Amino acid sequence: MRLSRFFLPILKENPREAEIVSHRLMLRAGMIRQQGAGSFSWLPLGKRVLDKVCQIIREEQNRAGAQEILMPTIQSADLWIESGRYNDYGKEMLRIRDRQDRAMLYGPTNEEMVTDIFRAYVKSYKDLPLNLYHIQWKFRDEVRPRFGVMRSREFLMKDAYSFDLDYEGAKAAYNRMFVAYLRTFTRMGLNAIPMRADTGPIGGDLSHEFIILASTGESAVFCDRAFLDLPVPPADIDFTSDAEIGGVVARWTAPYAATDEMHDEAAWEKVPEEKRLAARGIEVGHIFHFGTKYSTPMKATVTGPDGQEHFVSMGSYGIGPSRLTAAIIEASHDENGIIWPESVAPFEIALVNMKAGDSDCDRVCEEIYAGLQAAGREVLYDDTDQRAGAKFATADLIGLPWQVIVGPRGVAAGEVELKNRATGERQTVPVSAIAERFGVNR
């Protein structure tokens, strides 16, 4: 993509409304635009990151055996009256009436709707386990939307729902999602710590929040430093082995970790003092086991091996991709801007032409650009006529992992500069080294 054609509305000034660094950088880097209280448009740079975040989530959900569907955002109130949550949900739910004066709502979550899908088709335990997920916009009329997309009213959620015959099956399903979450966050360069958490309006008796440690986090958290060294399972872990998956969960739930609401002073005192980590954190995921809370009132049953009808045992599993995008920035930035982990970077390489219009610089840039494109690399080519200083500032602000800098002096010697955004390390290399480094076939 040529920067001269790319819609990247960079802000020079720090936006005054932004209280935390991720919000400030997302606005400054032209990733998002606020449209109203807690409501944001995703501009091209932001949308590219959001898509990459969703793709990693999707791959790990699929690997763990979940299947993707897509449910509507607008739901009928009837389902929620059936489950008993219509009144409980309170003012956070946006309630709407259609032209027939039917009560509708903009979904804050989808337990009811997915249970309705399940009960329409699944009748036998032989069709279990089943886990269906979607990635869809939600609306919650938060009392205090703030920090940009971190706590917005309209936000993207990956929500998965598992159905099993009994508690044992449901626990195994919970464990698979737990492990999928560890892998998902690690792939984004994040250390997410699972913590026992309150279940709130979703309900149930077992739940973990996945928390990224960050000073700007909204939750106070308490955990053992042992988490910082625990290994995350590899991609080839066997999701069909309940024992193997259960073993990982056992290791990841052994050290102490709890959010404020679940904090247990007595247990905390038992953690050796030098291992205690009291910090703030951002909740990027939350998983729940709630058994038959929805299947009982909504009559979602299957015939078991005993020939009897059983209410299915369920769980739900959420990740906020829009919040995650901000959380990644909270965890990875410096005074000059964002530092994207490669896995979610909007482009891999910034190709900076320091002197657009200079025929040698233009020629070398065009060659490198064409080669990298042909090799399938994602390149943002700064072909604009801005000053070199402004171009460097933009490249650092938008935080692509690599910068290839092409200037007249280097070009005369057949050389360009390669800069690593994360380490700041710069290397002067022959033009041909770029092709070798990024796997361009000549």
Q: How far is the CB of 179 from ligand P5A (least distance, A)?
A: 17
Would you tell me how many other CB atoms lie within 10 Å of the CB of residue 250? 10
Q: Per CB under 6 A, does 224 bind ligand P5A?
A: no
Helix (H, G, I), strand (E, B) or coil at 261: helix
- And the tokens for 227? 């988490």
Cβ neighbours for 182, distance < 8 A, ≥ 6 positions apart: 192, 194, 232, 233, 248, 252
Would you tell me how many other CB atoms lie within 10 Å of the CB of residue 257? 26
Q: Per CB under 6 A, does 152 bind ligand P5A?
A: yes
Q: Per CB under 6 A, does 202 bind ligand P5A?
A: yes
Q: Per CB under 6 A, does 20 bind ligand P5A?
A: no
Q: How far is the CB of 401 from ligand P5A (least distance, A)?
A: 25
CA dihedral of 342, 131, 258, 168, whole degrees rounded to 10: -140
Q: Per CB under 6 A, does 132 bind ligand P5A?
A: no
Q: How far is the CB of 140 from ligand P5A (least distance, A)?
A: 5
For ligand P5A, the binding residues in 303-332 under the rule CB under 6 A are: 316-320, 322-323
The amino acid that residue 315 corresponds to is G
For ligand P5A, the binding residues in 104-123 under the rule CB under 6 A are: 109
Rounded to a whole number of angstroms, the distance between the first and last alpha carbons of the chain is: 21
Sort 204 into a burial class: Cβ within 10 Å, 0-12 / 13-18 / 19+: middle
Q: Per CB under 6 A, does 194 bind ligand P5A?
A: no
Q: Per CB under 6 A, does 140 bind ligand P5A?
A: yes
Stretch that binds ligand P5A, among 20-28, 148-156, 180-188, 403-411 (CB under 6 A): 148-156
Q: Rounded CA gap, 348 and 258, in Å?
A: 37
Q: Per CB under 6 A, does 142 bind ligand P5A?
A: yes
For ligand P5A, the binding residues in 267-306 under the rule CB under 6 A are: 283-286, 288
Q: Per CB under 6 A, does 391 bind ligand P5A?
A: no
Report yes or no: 98 and 69 within 8 Å, Cβ to Cβ. no
Q: Per CB under 6 A, does 141 bind ligand P5A?
A: no
Question: With respect to ligand P5A, which residue has the nearer C-beta, 197 or 368?
Answer: 197
Q: Which of 54, 57, 66, 157 binds ligand P5A (CB under 6 A)?
A: 157
CA separation (Å) from 333 to 26, 28, 253, 419, 423? 11, 13, 30, 16, 11
Rg, the chain, Cα only: 25
Residues that bind ligand P5A (CB under 6 A): 109, 140, 142, 151-152, 155, 157, 159, 202, 283-286, 288, 316-320, 322-323
